[in-house]
Structure 1
């Protein structure tokens, strides 16, 4: 069984449409047993939202 293709859950960009180097900048999140991906463009756009989810201990 193969893993499902990575697709950005914000914009729908497919993993197959980017280079391996760009894919390194994608972010993944596991919620409720499912993996959700953010492409490199959406990750950069929403970096503040991502950082806001980090626990307070991370910033000390």
Structure 2
């Protein structure tokens, strides 16, 4: 099993159980239906892009 990482910067998502370990991570589905993740830093940096559902290629 691979540990999910941020789609933009590649930071690994924490493997620890519990909501506090993954707080701030954002789940996303691309245009092909694949699930991806954004770390808290990238999610904050691109919050408007995420909310407007722009493709990652536009960022």
| TM-score category (smaller protein) | 0.5 to 0.7
The alignment's TM-score, normalised by the length of structure 2, stands at: 0.65
The alignment's TM-score, normalised by the length of structure 1, stands at: 0.65
* Structure 2: gaps of 5 or more residues: 54-59
* Structure 1: gaps of 5 or more residues: 54-60
State the aligned residue count.
Answer: 52
What residue in structure 2 maps to residue 5 of structure 1? Answer: 3
* Partners of 1:44 and 1:9 in 2: CA distance: 14
Structure 1 segments (4+ residues) deviating >4 Å: none
More helix, by proportion:
1
**Root-mean-square deviation (Å):** 2.7
What residue in structure 2 maps to residue 28 of structure 1? Answer: 27
